[in-house]
Every structure is written in C-alpha cells, then in structure tokens.
Structure 1
Amino acid sequence: MAERCGWAGQEPIYVAYHDSEWGVPEYDSRALWEKLILDGFQAGLSWITILKKRENFRAAFRGFDPDVIATWGEAEVARLLDDPGIVRHRGKIEATIGNARAWQRIEAAGGFDDFLWRYVDHRPLQNSWQSLAEVPAFTPLSTRISKDLKKAGFRFCGPTIVYAFMQACGLVNDHLVGCPCHDWVAGLARPRTAGARGPERGP
C-alpha cells in the first residue's frame, strides 16, 4: 500500500496539508505571496508551528492583502509584536511590510504569479525521489530565484526558504514516487494559464 511522504507524520492538520495543499500548483498572485511570507516566518522554526498559527497570521495580517500591508508602519509593527497568536519577530514583521511593497512593484510590472512561474517555463517541474534523503534543501534554481527576489526588494527569502516555497506551491513536485499524491500532483501539471487553480482535495 502506498504511503504518504514521511514528513507528514500523524497529526491531522499536517496530514490534511500534505494531502490537499502541498505540491498543488498555485497560480494566484496574492496566495503565492502569502505562502512566501509564511515560509519566511518559518525560518528557524518548523513548518507545523506556522501551519497551526496560519489562521492567526491571516487575521493579524488582514488576509495577507499586500496592498493593505504596504501602507503599514510602526504602529502596525507594534500591534503585531503584541499578538501572541503569531511569531513575534520584529525583523520578519518589518520584512513583510517591505515585501508587500516589493510585491506591488512586481505585480504592476506584469504579475507576481508570472514572475515566479516563468522560472519553470510555466509548467511544474517533476521529480522522482524514492526517499526523503534524496530531496534537496535547495537547488541552483531556488538560489537564482532567491537572488532575483532580493534584488526586487524581498527579505527572508534565502535559497532554502524559496525551495520550500516552490515545493509547497507546486512549482516542483517533490512528493516521493511511493506517495499517493505524487501521481495526482503530476497529473495537475500543465502549461500555466491565468487564473488556473488546482483542486482543493487530494486523492
């Protein structure tokens, strides 16, 4: 019987995330930005820590609307530093505000979604890993994207963070070949079209 990727563990929230979200191609510009921000907050922590706080983050950051967050200043930073429901890290909070402004510039220039998907020629990359030990922490491509994001004004977007983001948002399919989600996610691979979204639930 096929088994899930080992990192999913047994916690229901993590299993559900693995089965329905991780690796599904995401084409929405705002949703891509939200995930990159959350991956930045994960730095130095585990993803399940962020996942359990995700709804708190969404409430605190007003639905992760970059156009709203781009207008924030010290008052909002202070509010967030007092919010026990999120990761209270001044550097990451301030970076989120700057990243919202960077998103606005990229979005106005042609779309944050297109900016990211062009790195994979608008079609998810497909890997065939047999074990978790084979899966890299970062790649030359994630390093390149990281450098370009930093040039565009983003922070907390190193190569490892970017690769985790690529895996989560389906720019690359890193489900193990023995995982039932591998073929399902592979079947979602197609040339990107504006507004295309993957199904909400896995196999």
Structure 2
Amino acid sequence: MSRCSWAESSPLMQAYHDHEWGRVVTDDQRLFEFLVLEMMQAGLSWSIVLNKRASLAEAFAQFDYQKIAQFTEEKVATLVQNPKIIRHRLKLQAVIHNAQCFMAIQQEFGSFARYLWQFTDGKIIHHHWTSLEQVPTQDKYAQIISKDLKKRGFKFVGPVTIYSYMQAIGMVNDHLTSCDCYGELVQQTQVDL
C-alpha cells in the first residue's frame, strides 16, 4: 500500500493513517475523542498521543463527555498521578471544561457535528498535495473555528490544533495525492448531517 510518509514509523501509525485519519466523522462521541487527542498533542508528537490513546480512553470514561463534564478536582488530582497518560494538569482540566462547553454547543445546535460542519457548509476540503512540505499547519477555517471555540470557552484549541483536528475528522483531506487513501477519500465531497 502507498501511504503518506509520516505514517510509516510504526504499525500503530499505519493503522491510524489507513483506517481513521481523514475519514469523515459526524458522531459526537468520536468528535469529542478526537478533540481530546488533538488537545493532548499540543507540544508533543502524535506518536506519543497514539501510544497513550487506550490509557487516555480508560482514564476519561471512554471519552464520554457527559461523564467527563462531572469530573471534580479530586479526579484531576488522581489523573495527574496516572503514569499511563499525559499528565499535564492544565490539559486535564481543559478536557473537563471543554466537555461542558461541548454539551452547551450540542444544546444550541442539536449536535456538535452540526455546529462544526457548518463552517465548511458540510463540504470536505480536498487538497492536492504532492509532498509533506506543502501541507499547512493551519488555514482560514481553522482560524475561524478556533476563534469561535475560544469565544465559547474552549481551551487548548488554537488554530494549529484545530487544523490537525480537521485533518483527523475528515473536514480536510490532506493525504498526499500519491497515497492510496487520497483516491478513496476524494470521491466524497459533502457530509450529510
């Protein structure tokens, strides 16, 4: 299989690339999971986050935002002691805070997916990159979404984090044109919500 070169570093990265990265996500539970993972990546490599994903899921109630929104400071103190996860206190607190903000958006828009995909009018942005050097770290959509999320109280959602999030959930197809996944994903242009 021909892949984006960044995915060749480990079997875990290959599986993530082949089966998840750039695939359209409209399920709110999965959208929250990917948001948490991208927040956790800030300042770290993606391989670190991916290697800790199962432990993060265990620590964060399988990314159940309704349960996470109820976490207390005592729970944060316990999480900080967990060597299997990323123990950055501010990030851990942000996950809890963002779960509350996430649910507020659900109440306003009916779903987080409906809120998020409105920024591209439900369209998937397909790029035609031929090398990793061409792939940007952010774009105008990431800047707009980041600004709006921050206005709504979210933390650790800068435009670089949000662009990575958009790539992960398929809002942006940044697979290289030489990658087998590119040809498969480029067929889908619109999301039904």
After TM superposition, the score normalised by the length of structure 2 is 0.96
* 1:36 corresponds to: 35
* 1:134 corresponds to: 134
Report the 3-state secondary structure (helix = DSSP H, G, I; strand = E; otherwise coil) of the residue aligned with 1:178: coil
CA distance in 2, matches of 1:43, 1:59: 20
CA distance in 1, matches of 2:154, 2:31: 14
Report the 3-state secondary structure (helix = DSSP H, G, I; strand = E; otherwise coil) of the residue aligned with 1:109: helix
* 2:177 corresponds to: 177
- Over aligned residues, Cα RMSD in angstroms? 1.0
After TM superposition, the score normalised by the length of structure 1 is 0.92
Task: Look up the equivalent residue of 1:33 and give its one-letter code.
Answer: F
Which ranges in structure 2 are unaligned for 5 or more consecutive residues?
A: none
**Count of aligned positions:** 192
Task: Look up the equivalent residue of 1:145 and give its one-letter code.
Answer: I
Task: Please state if 1:118 is matched with 2:114.
Answer: no
Which ranges in structure 1 are unaligned for 5 or more consecutive residues?
A: 195-203
Stretches of 4+ moved more than 4 A in 1?
none
Q: What is the Cα deviation at residue 190 of structure 1?
A: 4.2
Q: What is the Cα deviation at residue 123 of structure 1?
A: 2.0
Matches within 5 A, 1:39-58: 39-58=38-57
CA distance in 1, matches of 2:108, 2:29: 15
Percent identity, aligned pairs only, is 42
* 1:76 corresponds to: 75
Matches within 5 A, 1:1-203: 3-110=2-109, 111-187=111-187, 189-194=188-193
